[in-house]
């Protein structure tokens, strides 16, 4: 019965390390960082993590060179 329960949490994902990547790769790298963070903290596989369209829009909002430094995600 405990396996049927879905746990839902709000995570603040730091994306400061993305600033060390070349400017034209930053937003796409941020998407990979968000997915990797959720895989680590939700203890699941990468194929099971689906990012919503709003997360993608938030990461790409200022273009590929200036993603946000952190993002809050409900997972």
- What is the domain extent for residue 26? 9-74
* Residue 53, in any domain of the structure: yes
What distance lies between CA 39 and its chain's CA centroid? Answer: 10
On the question of pLDDT at 72 being above 60, the answer is yes
User: What is residue 75's predicted lDDT score, i.e. its pLDDT?
Assistant: 87
* Residue 30, in any domain of the structure: yes
User: What is residue 5's predicted lDDT score, i.e. its pLDDT?
Assistant: 66
* Residue 3, in any domain of the structure: no
State the total domains in the chain: 1
Query: How many Å apart are CA 48 and CA 21, to the nearest integer?
Result: 26
Please compute the mean of the pLDDT values over residues 49-71 and round it to a whole number: 95
pLDDT digits (tens, 9 = 90+) for 4-56: 567 789 999 999 999 999 999 999 999 999 999 999 999 889 888 899 999 99
pTM attached to this predicted model: 0.85
On the question of pLDDT at 2 being above 60, the answer is no
């Amino acid at each position: 019965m405990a396996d049927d329960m879905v746990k839902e949490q709000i995570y603040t994902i730091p994306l400061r390390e993305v600033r060390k990547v070349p400017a034209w790769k930053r937003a796409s790298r941020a998407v990979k960082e968000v997915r990797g963070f959720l895989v680590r903290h939700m203890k699941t596989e990468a194929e099971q993590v689906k990012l919503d369209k709003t997360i993608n829009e938030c990461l790409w909002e200022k273009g590929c060179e200036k993603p946000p430094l952190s993002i809050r995600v409900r997972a």
